[in-house]
């Protein structure tokens, strides 16, 4: 069970969007590398990074900022946004990423995801972003008719390290994680699921530690951390205590 702090990159800055809208971006730090160091110093064990410009462009746009983050932290980093080819994947893993997140390409070319899992075992995650229960692609700009569970089941047995499930209707507006849909997805597949979108308060952290949610790999937090709605020490202490209970 992991709490992943998020760094979303737009034009080289650390931002948060509302409902995935690039026009509704709040800048939280103009130095993403410094933000990565701060998260490590607070005790976080992983870092979740998204190249927002890249998600729309279909190729890496904030590469310099990601490289700076990788130099700034010893924590493992997972990156999504605009990674659409095996060459992209190989390049980023060689540059120091622990895990690459594939979103649009998981819908457009699932065979590429399966090949990437074979070639880079344990280092490929699938990002499933949903609006109204249907999968969205191209930086959330396009809706599909594909259901979340239908897409997830395509990768059963392929070696996907995790599914990052984001409810776009809740992202960045602090209304709480969609626990019902997240846990339904987790029940439907054997692939570990990470909750994303809407994490709002310590109540969500406590919900993470309840027995039925402990099957999740964890959850991602962005705006709630930046706005001080979540105390990092309290949150991480709660998660550590829950881990001890799981081990027992």
DSSP 48: E
Cα→Cα distances 135→52, 66, 109, 147, Å: 17, 26, 14, 6
Query: Of 51, 129, 167, 171, which residue is the catalytic one?
Result: 129
- Measured in degrees and rounded to the nearest 5, phi and psi for residue 222 equal -125, -90
Within 10 angstroms of residue 26's Cβ, the number of other Cβ atoms is 13
Does the active-site annotation cover 167?
Answer: no
Q: What is the DSSP string of 26-43?
A: EEEES-HHHHHHHHHHTT
Residue closest to 27 by CA, chosen among 14, 12, 9: 14
178: alpha, beta or left? (left if phi > 0; alpha if psi -120 to 50): beta
Contact 177, 157 (CB under 8 A): no
Report d(CA 224, CA 204) in Å as an integer.
10
Does the active-site annotation cover 51?
Answer: no
Report d(CA 127, CA 76) in Å as an integer.
17
Beta bridge partners of 218: 2, 194
Catalytic positions: 8, 129
């Amino acid at each position: 069970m992991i709490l992943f702090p998020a760094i979303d990159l737009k034009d080289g800055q650390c931002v948060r969007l509302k409902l995935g809208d690039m026009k509704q971006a709040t800048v939280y730090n103009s130095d993403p590398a410094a933000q990565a160091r701060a998260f490590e110093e607070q005790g976080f064990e992983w870092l979740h990074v998204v190249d927002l410009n890249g998600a729309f462009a279909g190729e890496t746009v904030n590469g310099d900022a990601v490289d700076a983050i990788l130099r700034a932290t010893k924590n493992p980093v997972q990156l999504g946004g605009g990674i659409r080819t095996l060459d992209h994947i190989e390049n980023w893993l060689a540059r120091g990423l622990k895990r690459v997140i594939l979103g649009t390409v998981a819908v457009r070319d699932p065979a590429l995801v399966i090949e990437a899992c074979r070639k880079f075992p344990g280092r490929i995650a699938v990002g499933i972003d949903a609006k109204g229960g249907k999968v969205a692609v191209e930086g959330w700009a396009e809706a599909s008719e594909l259901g979340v569970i239908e897409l997830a089941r395509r990768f059963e047995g392929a070696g996907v390290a995790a599914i990052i499930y984001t409810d776009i209707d809740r992202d960045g507006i602090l209304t709480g994680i969609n626990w019902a849909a997240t846990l339904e997805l987790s029940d439907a597949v054997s692939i570990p699921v990470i909750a994303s979108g809407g994490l709002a308060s310590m109540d969500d952290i406590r919900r993470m530690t309840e027995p039925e949610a402990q099957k999740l790999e964890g959850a991602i937090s962005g705006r709630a951390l930046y706005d001080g709605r979540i105390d990092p020490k309290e949150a991480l202490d709660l998660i550590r205590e829950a881990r001890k209970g799981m081990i027992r």
